[in-house]
Structure 1
Amino acid sequence: METTGSNPRLGADERKEQLLAAALETFGAKGFNATSMNDVAAAAGVTKPVLYQHFESKHQLYLELLSDIGASLITAIEEATQRAPGPREQVEESLRAFFHFFGDEPANFTVLFGEGVRSDEAFLDKLAMVEDAHTTLTADLIDIESLSRDDRVVVAHSISGMLEGAVRRWIQDGKRHSPDEVAELISEVAWRGLRGVGSGH
């Protein structure tokens, strides 16, 4: 076990989790380009050599952070929709989970959708994997028999893009409405739109 820093007896997995939490805080506040490994180490209360024992570079650290955020987002949505009794409620619960995930920790949004991601191909590939997973999950919630699977994916992709923009604006506006209020409003609009598609209108 490591004996460096303010948490001297953390195991490898616990230390890595601690470092990822510090990285989320630091990258969320300063962005990828302005953040150094020294910044992350300082936020974690460890020396830079300890940080490099777990992540060989800032690039690798950010990639793992993207994976961690993406997996946590998908898990949160899956767990929320599993508790819902029907399709209408599943749509609302998925949106509620989405807004809570980013509203409760805005750094998740900054890291996942920030400018640093757009400037690196590996980051973009990781983001695309997260977006594809979210699109697939959303497509599974679209309970419209008249739509083919491909059509459901197209609609789900549009919804995912809309949600990214909605969360960005919501955070920029200071989150004047609660995650539940925003989710309820958008789910109502989305559900009516989906019903309209299903009826051919």
Structure 2
Amino acid sequence: MGPWPRPPRTRIAALRLSAPERRIQILDVALGVFSRRGYHGASMNDVAEAAGVSKPVLYQHFGSKEELYVSLVGEVGNRLSRAVSEAIPTGTDPRSRIIAGLGAYFGFVAAHRDEFRLLFGSGTTREGALATGGRDVERLLARTIAGLLGTTLPADRRLLVAHGIVGLAEGTCRHWLASDLQLDPTELATEVGEVVWAGLRTLPLGS
């Protein structure tokens, strides 16, 4: 299931939607199209047909395929970052916060595989302006993770370490989905979190 409530997808139902509802429907449908076909393999015709709307209606909301794709990546990236942020317990030690953050990340991927494939899958484009959306998501996640590491490490070093943790989580999920392993996200977060903490505990991370 996608990150938005799903209105009916028939052409008649779509024509009755309000502008905000129609935008939600288009984003929801575009998620499936892009995650299955990749950016270059998908077309605005594909999205319009799947949404049950005409191309002029689609272009009223998104002026180009690039605009639609970047908007979708931004929406999904914000949801993933919020899921991680909201899962962090307050007043806990860095180790517990790291494991909780990874648990939210892996839980999001388990529940929303299409979203992860959109952000980081093999069909994700990393070319030109389109790469900005993916990099923005990685930076957003890194800033979120950096906030879990305490305050005694200098800010630039803390952010650098956080990017490494984001890369580890992304690589873990890529292999997880590619191998179709049946894993419990909480258990996986504990295992990966302990590996991360084994390195982090040697640094001046604070409490």
TM-score (norm: length of structure 1): 0.88
Number of the residue aligned with 1:74: 81
Tell me if 1:176 matches 2:192: no
Residue in 1 aligned with 2:193? 187
Comparing 43-52 with 25-34, greater Cα deviation is found at: 43-52
Residues in 2 aligned to 1:77 and 1:84: alpha-carbon distance in whole angstroms? 13
Instruction: Indicate how the Cα distance of structure 1 residues 198 and 24 shifts in structure 2: closer, same or farther if over 3 A, else same.
Output: same
Q: CA deviation at 1:197?
A: 2.9
Equivalent residue, structure 1, for 2:140? 133
Please give the residue correspondences for 1:43-62 in structure 2 after superposition, counting only pairs within 5 Å.
Answer: 43-62=50-69
Which residue identity does 2:160 align to in structure 1?
V
**In structure 1, how many angstroms separate the alpha carbons of the residues matched to 2:184 and 2:130?**
30
Q: Which moved more, 1:92-101 or 1:19-28?
A: 92-101
Distance 1:80 1:159 in 2: 17
- Percent of aligned positions with the same letter in both sequences? 39
Q: In 2, distance between residues paired with 1:192 and 1:119?
A: 32
Q: Cα offset for 1:116?
A: 4.7
Cα separation, 2, equivalents of 1:37 and 1:14: 19
Structure 2 distance, partners of 1:4, 1:174, is 35
User: Shift of the alpha carbon at 1:80?
Assistant: 0.9
1:167 aligns with 2:173: yes
Instruction: Find runs of 4+ consecutive structure 1 residues off by over 6 angstroms.
Output: none
Distance across 2 between alignment mates of 1:9 and 1:79: 35
Q: Write the distance in 1 (CA, Å) between the matches of 2:91 and 2:181.
A: 28
Letter matched to residue 170 of structure 2: E
Structure 1: distance between partners of 2:147 and 2:172: 21
Gaps of 5+ in 1: none
Work out whether residues 25 and 107 of structure 1, in 8 Å CA contact, stay in contact via their aligned partners in 2. Answer: yes
| 1:9 shift after superposition | 2.3
Aligned mates of 2:34, 2:155 — CA distance in 1: 37
How high is the TM-score relative to the length of structure 2? 0.86
Count of equivalent residues? 195
Counterpart in the other structure of 2:104:
97
Does the 8 Å CA contact 1:138/1:156 hold for their aligned counterparts?
Answer: yes
Aligned equivalent of 1:28, options 7, 30, 35: 35
Q: 1:150 aligns to what?
A: 156
